[in-house]
Amino acid sequence: MKALLLIDLQIDFCPGGALEVQEGDQVIPIANALMEKFDLVVATQDWHPANHGSFAANHPWRKPGQVIDLHGLQQVLWPIHCVQGSFGANFHPTLNQAGITKVFVKGTDPTIDSYSGFFDNGHRKATGLGDYLKEQGVTAVFVMGLATDYCVKFTALDALELGFATSLIEDASRGVNLKDGDVDQAVREMKEKGVSIIQSDELLSSNS
């Protein structure tokens, strides 16, 4: 059984949002089309408390893009984004939410960030996504969304580690590219570790 994992298709990661990803909104119609091809569709939602340690604004004099030590882990600082209950934390308004079976939130602990949909960045706590997929009999996951070089990448790598056959739907994902080439590097790293890199039409053109 295969599952589609929709990563952080939220307003704040789309153009005009607080942590906008270039062309982030362009993957929404692809997500809507892909849903039809899957038995199980699961979404993640970045869902931070206002005092989250990944927000530059919560550290005196710090600016987005700087890196700090946050309780022992390297942390890139971000603009305030995806605050629980805020407008920008909502899924993109054109995303077909009725097609999503279950949503897993992440980044709720103010002391640690969580890029992966499975674990926090220290691999200390699980979100429940891994157990859920296994209970549903899922053996293969197809990962897409925002952002390729952060949450999509770490979700795909954790999925591999948990034993799922893992594919990145490359054209259905967009990245931050804090540094030029970050997205290319992320795709290369996923591929090297064993993630299959595919395009959405490979799934959309099949009859199954």
Compose the 73-112 pattern: x for residues touching Zn ion by CB under 5 A, - for all others: ----------------------------------x-----
**Which of ligand VGL, Zn ion, none has residue 146 at its interface (CB below 5 to 8 Å by kind)?**
ligand VGL
Helices 153-161 & 182-193, crossing angle to 10 degrees? 10
Compose the 104-123 pattern: x for residues touching ligand VGL by CB under 6 A, - for all others: -----------x--------
Q: Which of 82, 106, 120, 153 is catalytic?
A: 106
Asked whether 89 and 17 are in contact (CB, 8 A), the reply is no
Q: List % helix, strand, coil for the chain (3-state, nearest 5).
A: 30, 25, 45
Which residue in 186, 124, 199, 125 sits closest to 151, CA to CA? 186
Q: How many chain residues bind Zn ion (CB under 5 A)?
A: 2
142 binds ligand VGL (CB under 6 A): no
DSSP, residue by residue, 3-31: EEEEE--BGGGSTTSTT--TTGGGGHHHH
Q: Which of 14, 82, 149, 151 is catalytic?
A: 151
**Which of Zn ion, ligand VGL, none has residue 8 at its interface (CB below 5 to 8 Å by kind)?**
ligand VGL
Query: How many residues make up the chain in this entry?
Result: 208
Query: By the criterion CB under 6 A, which residues form the site for ligand VGL?
Result: 8, 13, 46, 78, 115, 146-147, 150-151
